[in-house]
Amino acid sequence: MAEAKNASFEHIMKELEARKFVPVYYLMGDESYYIDRIADYIAEHALQPEERDFNQTVLFGSDVTASQIVDAARRYPMMSEHQVIIVKEAQHVRNTEALERYFKAPMASTILVMCHKNGSIDGRKREYVKAIQSAGVLFESKKLKDRELPAFIEGYLGRKNVEIDAKSTLMIAENIGSDLSRLTGELDKLILSIFGEKGADGSENAKNGRITPQMVEEQIGVSKEFNGYELRDALINRNVYKANLIIKYFDENPKAGSLYAFLPLLFNYFQNLMIAYYAPNHKSQEGVAEWLDMKSPWAAKDYMTGMRNYTGLKVMQIISKIREIDAKSKGLDNPNTPPGELMKELIFYILH
């Protein structure tokens, strides 16, 4: 990975929307969603429709050399202020010396977009990175961590004037995962169901632009009763019957949920619960919310319940157990136990 200071996605989009273009956009990383968003926006907005036939070119890194990209970039636009060149699969371009020389003196009338997916520039190519930065924008698109998905979902929907409750957010996050292209596709499906002619189900929730667990169940196929959020809720409240019912459901329907999806969710909760015990005012919901940097005191409700139901010592033991189960799920000191049995072992340990 190159040691470079990357421009943020938000900053790049703000500049593009203001039509403040730079000669080079080098977009790299493991998350294709942001790379595609930037490249597509430039393709659709940098030129007028009537200018694109002669001034917009799409190349593929596996089909062209660095010298051919530079030759195209050095052309002048025809009856337009700019020409746009988008290089897809830029990670396949070899012998980049010609590009490095171009980046040091780019054409002001060319907008060159390099889409380097599934990785980043070799960290040893420091001069190459410096040349890119001197020419324009270097952006690294990183995969979101599981804990970042709820904020992404809420932000994506919020920009489209759609509300969502915490349960629905977690149902979507844990079942769709961190593939943002797939995730946004499912969110767009929910949005379409809301703002269709009759909404998702004709209810007031649909008309008001609010996503509910029932809508997630209907549109995405996630059970509103048997999911990670409900399992987490059962454990917080030490509801043994409900927790075992959910585990039984997952054991019989492995595609609906698995140990691998729930471990991060449970670890995040109990880790924060341990931190809550150290809050200066841990007996106050407001104090815990402030200590955990939550948006509102209401968000700390689950941690207040958790502190009533679990001692600090038990929480430490649970965190240790989650780490043990995580290691076993990866085959460490565990030659035979399947994930379903490991999940049952963990839930039994937490509740007893």
With 70 as the cut, is the pLDDT of residue 36 above it?
Answer: yes
| Nearest one of 109, 130, 117, 122 to 88, comparing CA atoms | 117
Assigned token pair, 110: 């060319």
Residues near 285 by beta carbon (within 8 Å), at least 6 away in sequence: 297, 298, 300, 301, 304
With 60 as the cut, is the pLDDT of residue 3 above it?
Answer: no
Confidence at residue 173, expressed as pLDDT on a 0 to 100 scale:
83
Distance CA 244, CA 96 (A): 58
Q: For residue 86, count CB atoms less than 10 angstroms from its CB and return exposed for 0-12, middle for 13-18, buried for 19 or more.
A: buried
Distance CA 155, CA 62 (A): 36
Looking at per-residue pLDDT, the higher value among 298 and 115 belongs to: 115
With 70 as the cut, is the pLDDT of residue 6 above it?
Answer: no
Residues near 23 by beta carbon (within 8 Å), at least 6 away in sequence: 106, 107, 108, 110, 111, 112, 135, 136
Confidence at residue 51, expressed as pLDDT on a 0 to 100 scale:
95
Give the bridge partners for 85, in sequence order. Answer: 57, 112
With 70 as the cut, is the pLDDT of residue 4 above it?
Answer: no
With 60 as the cut, is the pLDDT of residue 107 above it?
Answer: yes
pLDDT digits (tens, 9 = 90+) for 122-146: 888 899 999 999 999 999 999 888 7
Confidence at residue 203, expressed as pLDDT on a 0 to 100 scale:
46
Confidence at residue 204, expressed as pLDDT on a 0 to 100 scale:
45
Cβ density class 259-277: b for 16+ within 10 Å, e for less? bebbbbbbbebbebbbebb
With 50 as the cut, is the pLDDT of residue 269 above it?
Answer: yes
With 90 as the cut, is the pLDDT of residue 55 above it?
Answer: yes
Confidence at residue 202, expressed as pLDDT on a 0 to 100 scale:
42
Assigned token pair, 277: 């015990």
Residues near 299 by beta carbon (within 8 Å), at least 6 away in sequence: 289, 292
With 60 as the cut, is the pLDDT of residue 1 above it?
Answer: no
Sheet containing 24-29: which strands, arranged edge to edge?
56-60, 83-88, 110-117, 24-29, 136-141
pLDDT digits (tens, 9 = 90+) for 335-346: 778 888 888 999
Kindly report the pTM of this predicted structure: 0.67
At the top level of CATH, the class of 228-351 is mainly alpha
Confidence at residue 47, expressed as pLDDT on a 0 to 100 scale:
96
Residue by residue, DSSP assigns 60-122 as ETTT--HHHHHHHHTSPPSSSS-EEEEEETGGG---THHHHHHHHS--TTEEEEEEEESB---
Rounded to the nearest 10°, the torsion over CA 334, 336, 340, 344 is -60
Assigned token pair, 185: 């596709």
With 50 as the cut, is the pLDDT of residue 347 above it?
Answer: yes
Quickly list H helices, the chain. Answer: 9-17, 32-45, 52-55, 66-73, 97-104, 126-135, 149-158, 166-176, 180-194, 204-207, 213-220, 228-236, 240-252, 259-277, 285-291, 301-309, 312-329, 339-351
- Collapsing DSSP to helix, strand or coil, 331 comes out as coil
- For the ranges 171-185, 221-235, 261-275, the lowest mean pLDDT is seen at 221-235
Question: Where do we find the tokens 């010298």?
Answer: 67
Assigned token pair, 265: 């969710």
Assigned token pair, 68: 């051919």
pLDDT band, very low/low/confident/very high, at 257 (cuts 50, 70, 90): low
CATH, domain range 147-220: 1.10.8.60
Confidence at residue 102, expressed as pLDDT on a 0 to 100 scale:
97
Tell me the domain boundaries of the chain.
Answer: 9-141, 147-220, 228-351
CATH, domain range 9-141: 3.40.50.300
- For the ranges 83-87, 255-259, 326-330, the lowest mean pLDDT is seen at 255-259
